[in-house]
A and B are shown apart, each in its own frame.
Chain A
Amino acid sequence: MEHSNHSHPHPEPHAHSHSHVHSHAHPHAQGGRLHELRHRLHHLRKQTSMGRVALVALILYLLSGVYFVSADQQAVVLVLGRVRESRVLPGMRWTLPFPFSRVEKLKVLETKRLTVGIEAPDQVLGRGAGEVKAQFLTGDQNIINIRLAVQYLVEDPVLYLFSARDVTSVIARTVETILSSVVVRRPVDDLLTRDKIAVQNEVQTGAQELLHRFGVSISSISIESIAPPDEVLEAFRDVASAREDRERIVREAESYSNDVVPRARGEAERLRQEASSYCERKVNEALGDAARFASLATEYKKAQDVTSARLFLETMEEVLPRMKKIVVESGPGGIDLDLIQRKQ
C-alpha cells in the first residue's frame, strides 16, 4: 500500500516535461509518422514511470529489512533457512527482507524461571487428583517431597532455538532427573538438614553439563520446599521435638549441676570455717582456763589449807541448798539406807 501511495505524485510532472520536449523537437512531422512517434513516446514515458515506481518500490522493499534489537535482546538471523548471524547485538540492523530472511529475537539477559517438583495430576498413575507434590526416593528408602526453582538464561541463541522443540520442557525434565539421582544417594536426614546446599550445587552442575547442548545456562537452583510426605510428617516433627527435648533435658541437668556444685562448695567452706572457729575457741578456752588455774594455783600454794577448805565450803554452799538433805547420826544407831533407796 505504502509503495503505491508514494509513487503516484512523483512521476506526473516528469511525464509532462517529457512530452513537452518531444513535441518541441518534432513539431513539423507528418500526421501518420507523428502518430507513430507519439505512440512510441507515450510508451516510453509509461515505461519510464513504471521503472521509477519499481525503483521506489525496490528501495522501500529493501528498507523493510531494517530491524531493531533492543538492549535486553540478541537476535539470530536466518537467510533462506540457514543461520547467517548467530548473535546480533542490540542496535538498528539490516538484513534481506521477507521472504529471504527471518529474524529471531531472544531476551538473553532475562532470567527465566521454572518450578520443578509439581506434577500435573493427570500425568500420574494411580494418584489422587489433588496430589501435586513430586515424591522422590532417598538413599535410605524414604519418600520425600521436593520442589525446586530453576533460573536460567539463554547462553547460545542458536542452540536454544534449534536444538530442541520445547527447551523449557527439556530443562524441567533434566533438572528433575538430576535431582532424583542426587537425592537417591543421600539419607533423608542429611537432605532435610545439612545437605540442602550440596544438593542445589550438585543439581546445578549436573544439569548444566547436560543443558549446554541446548544453549541454556542455569544461573541458580534453589530448593523451595523439602519436606516429608503428609503421611509421616507428624513422626518427623516428633523427631525434631525429640532433638529439642534432648537439648532441654541436658540443659536441665546442667542447671542442676550449676546449682548443686556451688552449693556444695559453699557448704564445704562453711564446714571448714566452723572447724577453724571451733579450734580457735577450744584453744582459747584452754588458754583461759590454764591462766585461771595458774593464778589460782599460785594463790593456793600460799595458803593451801584455807584455800582448799574455802573452796570446798563455797562449793557446798552452792550445791547443797538445792538438794534434799537427810542428816543421820553416825555410828551404830544409824538408819537403814536401803529404805531411802526403795522410796525413791
Chain B
Amino acid sequence: MHSHIHWNLKRAAAVALAAVLLWSCFYVVTEGEAAIVTLFGRPVRTVKDDAGLHFKWPIEGLLRFERRVMVYSPRPSEFLTRDKKNLVLDSDVLWRIDTPDLFLKTVGDVVTAEMRLHDIVWAALAAEIGKVELSDLVSDKAEPVKTPRVMEQVTGAACAVATRQFGIELVDVQLKRLTFPEQNKKSVFARMRAERERIAKQYRAQGEEAAMKIRAEADKQREVLLAGAYREAEEIKGKGDAESTRIYGEAYSRDPQFYKLVRTLDSYRKILDDKTSIILSSDSELLKLLTQGRGKGGAQ
C-alpha cells in the first residue's frame, strides 16, 4: 500500500513536470503581436506576422512586442521656412515595430523609441520645411497647398532612417497643427484686427455708396417727374391761354370800337380808386352841363 502511494506520487510528479515542460515548450503569439525567442538573453528566432501556437525549448526565453500602430505626439516645435518665417508645427507620428530583433537591439522599449523618433522626425521636418515657403503651406489660392507632398517626403525620409536604424516603420507622419509662435501671435492678431477693420469700413462704405445711389436716383426721379409735369402743365395752360385769346379776339374783332369803349371804362374802374385825385375841367364832357347850363348841353 505504501509503495503504491509512493508510486502514485512519483507518477503525479512526473506528469506535472511533463506538463510544465510541455507548457514551457509552447507559446502563443496573438494577432498584432510579435515575439523573439532568446537563449540566455541572446535573440535566436523572431516570430512576426505569424499569430498562433509556436514551439521553443524550455530553456529558451520569450520577449513579446506590440506590432499594432502606436501614436507618438512630439511636443510642438518651431521651424523656419525658406522665406524665414517661423512656424510651430504640431505633428503626430503613427509608428509600429517593423523588425523586432533590430528594435530590441537598438531601442528596446517604447519610451526610448519615442525619443529616437522625436529626433528623426524633427530632422526630417526641419529639412523639408526649410525647402518651402509659408505660402506653399498656407494659402487660399486656387493651386493646392504643398503640405501633403511635404509630409509625404517627411514620412518617407524619416521612415527610411527609422527602419534602417531602429527597425521602426513609420506609417504616417501627420501634421496635426500649423500655427505661428506665441511671440508672433500678437502681431498676427493685430493684423487680423486691422483686416477686420478694413472689411468693416468697406461694408459700411458700400452701404453708404448704395444708399447714396438710391437716394440720388430717387431725387432724380422726383425732379424728372416734377419737371415733366411742369412742362405738361405749362403746355396745358398755354393752350388754355391761346384758346381764350382766340375766343376774345374773335368776339371783340366783331366790334372793335365798342370793345375799346367797354375796355376803357373797365380800366377806369380798376385804375381809379380813392387815392386818386382828379382835376376836372369844367368844360369836360361830364361837367359841361354843370357849367354851361342845361340850355346848351340839353341840345346835345
B residues within 8 A CB of A214? 69
Q: B201 contacts the other chain (Cβ, under 8 Å)?
A: yes
Residue-wise, chain B 21-63 has the 8 Å CB interface mask toward A (1 for contact) of 0000000111111000000000000000001110000000000
> Complex formed: what's the CA distance from A190 to B140 in Å?
10
Of B12-20, B98-106, B152-160, B228-236, the stretch lying at the interface with chain A is B228-236
Q: A290 contacts the other chain (Cβ, under 8 Å)?
A: yes
B residues within 8 A CB of A281? 240
B197 touches A238 (CB 8 A): yes
State which of B140, B188, B219, B259 has its C-beta within 8 Å of the C-beta of A185. B140
Given A138-B138, A282-B240, A328-B282, 5 other A-B residues pairs in contact with their CB atoms under 8 A: A181-B147, A246-B210, A276-B236, A311-B261, A316-B286
State which of B71, B210, B214, B221 has its C-beta within 8 Å of the C-beta of A264. B221
B180 touches A180 (CB 8 A): no
> Complex formed: what's the CA distance from A340 to B263 in Å?
29
Q: B123 contacts the other chain (Cβ, under 8 Å)?
A: no
State which of B176, B193, B214, B232 has its C-beta within 8 Å of the C-beta of A177. B176
Query: Can you list 30 contacts pairing A with B, beta carbon distance less than 8 Å?
Result: A78-B51, A81-B33, A81-B53, A141-B191, A161-B32, A165-B71, A173-B73, A173-B92, A177-B92, A184-B147, A232-B193, A242-B204, A245-B204, A252-B211, A254-B214, A271-B232, A272-B229, A275-B236, A276-B236, A278-B240, A282-B241, A283-B247, A290-B247, A313-B286, A316-B268, A323-B272, A327-B281, A327-B290, A328-B281, A334-B281
* A228-B192, A300-B258 known; A181 vs B148 contact (CB < 8 Å): yes
Q: A85 contacts the other chain (Cβ, under 8 Å)?
A: no
* Chain A stretch 196-245: residues in CB contact (< 8 A) with chain B: 210, 214, 228-229, 231-232, 235-236, 238-239, 241-243, 245
B residues within 8 A CB of A315? 265, 268-269
A residues within 8 A CB of B236? 272, 275-276, 278-279
> Complex formed: what's the CA distance from A311 to B262 in Å?
8
Residue-wise, chain A 298-339 has the 8 Å CB interface mask toward B (1 for contact) of 001100000010011101101110111111111100100100
Q: Name the distance in Å between A195's Cβ and chain B's nearest Cβ.
A: 11
State which of B137, B203, B286 has its C-beta within 8 Å of the C-beta of A184. B137
State which of B76, B268, B277, B282 has its C-beta within 8 Å of the C-beta of A324. B277
Q: B126 contacts the other chain (Cβ, under 8 Å)?
A: no
In the complex, the 3 A-B pairs of residues with the closest C-beta atoms, listed nearest first? A279-B240, A139-B140, A268-B229
Residue-wise, chain B 236-263 has the 8 Å CB interface mask toward A (1 for contact) of 1101110111111011101100110110
Q: B164 contacts the other chain (Cβ, under 8 Å)?
A: no
B225 touches A264 (CB 8 A): yes
Using a CB–CB cutoff of 8 Å, the interface residues on chain B facing chain A are 28-33, 51-53, 66, 68-71, 73, 75-77, 88, 92, 94, 134, 137-141, 144-145, 147-148, 172, 174-180, 182, 185, 188-189, 191-193, 195-197, 199-201, 203-204, 206-208, 210-215, 217-219, 221-223, 225-226, 228-230, 232-237, 239-241, 243-248, 250-252, 254-255, 258-259, 261-262, 265, 268-269, 272-274, 276-287, 290-291
A residues within 8 A CB of B200? 235, 238-239, 241-242
> Complex formed: what's the CA distance from A301 to B259 in Å?
12
* Chain A stretch 267-301: residues in CB contact (< 8 A) with chain B: 267-269, 271-272, 274-276, 278-283, 285-287, 289-291, 293-294, 296-297, 300-301
State which of A162, A236, A264, A274 has its C-beta within 8 Å of the C-beta of B68. A162
B residues within 8 A CB of A283? 240, 243-244, 247
* A257-B217, A275-B237 known; A286 vs B247 contact (CB < 8 Å): yes
B203 touches A243 (CB 8 A): yes
Q: Which residue of B lies closest to A326 (CB)?
A: B279
> Complex formed: what's the CA distance from A174 to B213 in Å?
52
A residues within 8 A CB of B248? 286, 289-290
B282 touches A170 (CB 8 A): no
A residues within 8 A CB of B175? 177, 180-181
> Complex formed: what's the CA distance from A337 to B277 in Å?
12
Interface of chain A, main secondary structure: helix
Q: Which residue of A lies closest to B238 (CB)?
A: A279
* A125-B75, A125-B77 known; A246 vs B204 contact (CB < 8 Å): yes
Of A51-59, A61-69, A129-137, A148-156, the stretch lying at the interface with chain B is A129-137
B148 touches A319 (CB 8 A): no
